[in-house]
Amino acid sequence: MKKPIPIIIVDDENGAINTLTDYISELPNLGLQKTFTKPLVALAELSREKIPHLIYMDIDMPGMSGITLANSLKATPHHVIFTTSHPDYAIKAFDLRARHYLLKPFDLSEFADKTTVVVNEFFQPHHLDNETDDAFLLRKKQDSKRLIKVLKRNIIYIQGANNHIHFFTTHGDYSVYMTFKEITERLVRDPNFFMVQRSYIINREQLDEVEGNTLYLKEYQVPMSPNYSQSFMNWYNHVHLKTCRK
């Protein structure tokens, strides 16, 4: 039996938490892990989690809004469904890569419909079907006829999580059934990809800025481990030195 998808609830209202808890119990593929009423506590714990969680997150909360919390979690593999009483927040929510949103009050049918959409898209991993010099070809299911072509130049960064990896690209995110070691071995000869942490690989062509040990790649912020920073900065400084000489 497959493990249920780990679920987190972040909401400052106990009534909303109770409703979500009841709805989650109705879907056998979901497993509630924790609930948080304080966004800052949720941020501290979720930042350390490497396994992708599905987070039901309120937007209007004291201390830290759901918008701010989701923005702080952009570099994690988690997926967010916002729960809100304010429809005007929806556009901002999707700017933060929120997968869906539920407008309070919502019923079990609405909850199940939108949750199923997100689960099918982001929690059923692809399989690597083939690889070319410039792309990975992914298949959603072994018997599926649909292939997805992910151009390597469009990959922003790759994050490993147990026996899965996650491609964050300019055109969307993909969970792939592959170990981090396997993807590292495939990209070891590609000069554009650089390991900056034990479970992170970035595409250097997508790099916008470096500030301390934080790498800015498009809308993402990727932490760099001190163990890898020296070799990375040697490359970075070399490239910039060459650019200045021109």
Reported confidence tier of residue 21, pLDDT bands at 50, 70, 90: very high
Instruction: Please indicate whether residue 89 or residue 50 has the higher confidence score (pLDDT).
Output: 50
**Alpha helical stretches, state H, the chain:** 14-25, 39-46, 66-72, 90-95, 108-122, 180-187, 226-245
Residue among 157, 145, 146, 149 at smallest CA distance from 133: 149
Rounded CA separation 241/246 (Å):
9
Tell me the average pLDDT across 226-232.
81
Q: What is the dihedral of CA 42, 225, 154, 145, to 10 degrees?
A: -70
φ, ψ dihedrals at 169, nearest 5°:
-125, 170
Domains and CATH numbers, the chain: 5-122 (3.40.50.2300), 147-245 (2.40.50.1020)
> Could you read off the pLDDT of 84-140 as tens digits, one per residue?
887 766 555 555 556 788 989 999 999 999 998 888 777 877 889 999 999 999 987
* Cα 231-237-238 angle, rounded to 5 deg: 90
Distance CA 83, CA 126 (A): 28
pLDDT tens-digit profile of 162-219?
678 889 899 878 888 889 999 999 998 898 999 998 889 999 999 998 888 888 998 8
- Residue 1's pLDDT band (cuts 50, 70, 90): very low
pTM over 0.75: no
CB 178 within 8 A of CB 164: yes
